[in-house]
Amino acid sequence: MREVILAIDQGTTGSTVALVGSDGQVLASVNREFPQHYPRPGWVEHDAEDIWGSVLAGIRAVLRKGECRARDIVAIGLTNQRETSLLWDRKTGEALNRAIVWQCRRTTEYCETLKAAGHEKRVWRKTGLLLDPYFSASKFRWLLQNSRGIRRLLGAGRVAAGTVDSFLLWRLSGGDAHVTDVSNASRTSLMNLKRCSWDRELLDLFELPEAILPAIVPSSGELARTRGVPGLPDGIPVCGVAGDQQAALFGQACFAPGDAKCTFGTGSFILMNTGGEVLQSRSGLLTTVAWQLGQGGKPVYALEGGAFVCGAAVQWLRDGLGIIRTSSEVEALARSVPDHGGVEFVPALTGLGAPHWAPEARGLLCGLTRGSQRGHIARATLDAMALQNADILRAMERDLGKRMRPLRVDGGAAANDLLMQTQADVLGRKLIRPRVVETTVAGASYLAGLGVGLWPDTAAIRNIWQVDAEFRVKMRPAQRRQRLASWQAALERTLA
């Protein structure tokens, strides 16, 4: 019998479903997109049935493409867009409203009132998170106040709340499992980081009844079994669950404190493993649970920082300025000049994220002369993508009190060799790009494989994790100091 893991990566714009073999290699992978809904400016929603439909379509397609039978699946691993929140009826399984997506800003005013009342420090101390509409708690509160028939359903004990992992686990198990793993729970602003349980004070602050929330469980181990899922036999164990960025950290085999990964997507997400102790950032970063392996296993924590605009900066060069026709052209254009030529681009197109947290900041393009060319702007853009990540990673080192290990990279822009070399140079650390670049899929698979016993421990996973390329530091320290000083000057102008 062939042993494969079915991995479900439920993302913001679509769901990827993959089959992963016991050697850790992806045997087949498909993606199914679903509609996005923008009912008002700043509001972003998903229809829960669209999400579920994309997962079912992906399962059907990947089994055909991978030439595997459903009975070959020994376990299911799940990873998901993290803070997106929804309510559903425990009796019918139907969503009570559209899901509120992590990008949605509708609860900004409410979060500001909590800040003004002095609650942010308490929330940060208990959860490692800022008071921001990004996280799930204020979304759950909004849904409870704005879903039709909610009082009657609450009185009947029929309301279930959760992030997308919880909803999918409910559907995969035919309504038997209402659970969430610790990594997803840590993104709600409702879980006490040290106890890994729902916090009564926070529930009261956000006016949420604990009875509607899922049970918090480890990231690896049997969480549910399939029941009534079209295309799958009953009884397949779901043995791995983690939020997408934590799954990517696990998929990069970042198992030791100081190990870090950077995912280059629309934005960039950087997580650093900090071990078994909660490390509260003093440098503008978030603290989160990375994973917990099995019942009784100790949680592993991480520091997280995100830059809002990474690959989106290249899209802006294409769609906003029109200096490239396709995103893939940016590397060749940037290579047409020896360096940035004094041009600086601070890509604060939607404000600045970690470690600055300046939502009011706006983009800045400066240092232009008569000698400036399109290539200099392209080069400054790639430099900026790397430099803002370097700011986050140095903040992580300050919090951790030690130098980080070589940085592991993934995401679409990680294929850009010039960007990767630039990142190594401005950071002063070696970069490692893995052979399997679908790291969220890999992480979900590894967690599930551990949970079902396909791999005995993380050492076995480290042995199958393979390197595609390494980027060693070529820039001299004096050059790095000069480059960082130029960037810092532009950054200060943006923040002024």
User: What are the angstrom distances between the C-alpha of 175 and each of 27, 172, 305?
Assistant: 30, 8, 35
pTM over cut 0.85: yes
What fold is seen in the domain 4-246?
Answer: Nucleotidyltransferase; domain 5 (3.30.420)
Please give the full DSSP string across 97-124, using - where no structure is assigned.
SPEEPTT--TTHHHHHHHHHTT-HHHHH
- Whether 172 and 448 have beta carbons less than 8 Å apart is answered as no
| pLDDT higher at 360 or 188 | 188
Interval 367-383: pLDDT, tens: 999 999 999 999 999 99
Q: What is the DSSP letter of 101?
A: P
Task: Copy the structure tokens of residue 43.
Answer: 């509001």
Question: Can you tell me the mean pLDDT for 432-443?
Answer: 91
Check residue 307 and give its pLDDT: 85
- Helix axis angle, 244-251 relative to 439-452, nearest 10°? 80
- Whether 283 and 305 have beta carbons less than 8 Å apart is answered as no
Confidence label for 308 from pLDDT (cuts 50, 70 and 90)? confident
CA distance 377 to 480: 19
- Whether 390 and 262 have beta carbons less than 8 Å apart is answered as no
Check residue 197 and give its pLDDT: 97
Check residue 347 and give its pLDDT: 92
Average pLDDT, the chain: 92
| Least confident range of 38-42, 63-67, 178-182 | 63-67
Confidence label for 67 from pLDDT (cuts 50, 70 and 90)? confident
pLDDT of residue 350 exceeding 80, the answer is: no
pLDDT of residue 331 exceeding 70, the answer is: yes
> How many other CB atoms sit within 10 Å of the CB of residue 396?
26
Percent with pLDDT over 90 in the chain: 75
Question: Can you tell me the mean pLDDT for 80-85?
Answer: 93
Nearest partner of 423 among 295, 307, 322, judged by Cα: 307
CA distance 153 to 137: 20
Check residue 411 and give its pLDDT: 86
Check residue 1 and give its pLDDT: 59
What is the C-alpha radius of gyration for the chain, rounded to an integer number of angstroms? 22
Interval 86-138: pLDDT, tens: 999 999 999 999 999 988 888 989 999 999 999 999 999 999 998 988 899 99
3-state secondary structure at position 209? coil
CA distance 300 to 418: 33
Nearest partner of 241 among 446, 434, 56, 409, judged by Cα: 446
- The structure tokens 């934005």 sit at 267
Task: Copy the structure tokens of residue 38.
Answer: 């923008």
Check residue 311 and give its pLDDT: 83
CA distance 69 to 495: 56
Question: Can you tell me the mean pLDDT for 2-12?
Answer: 92
| pLDDT higher at 166 or 71 | 166
Please give the full DSSP string across 393-456, using - where no structure is assigned.
HHHHHHHHTS---PEEEESGGGG-HHHHHHHHHHHTS-EEEES---HHHHHHHHHHHHHHTSSS
pLDDT of residue 325 exceeding 90, the answer is: yes
Interval 237-259: pLDDT, tens: 999 999 999 999 999 999 999 89
Question: Can you tell me the mean pLDDT for 325-349?
Answer: 93
Task: Copy the structure tokens of residue 229.
Answer: 């899922």
pLDDT of residue 265 exceeding 90, the answer is: no
pLDDT of residue 153 exceeding 90, the answer is: yes
Angle at CA of residue 26, ends 23 and 31, nearest 5°: 160
Amino acid at residue number 282: R
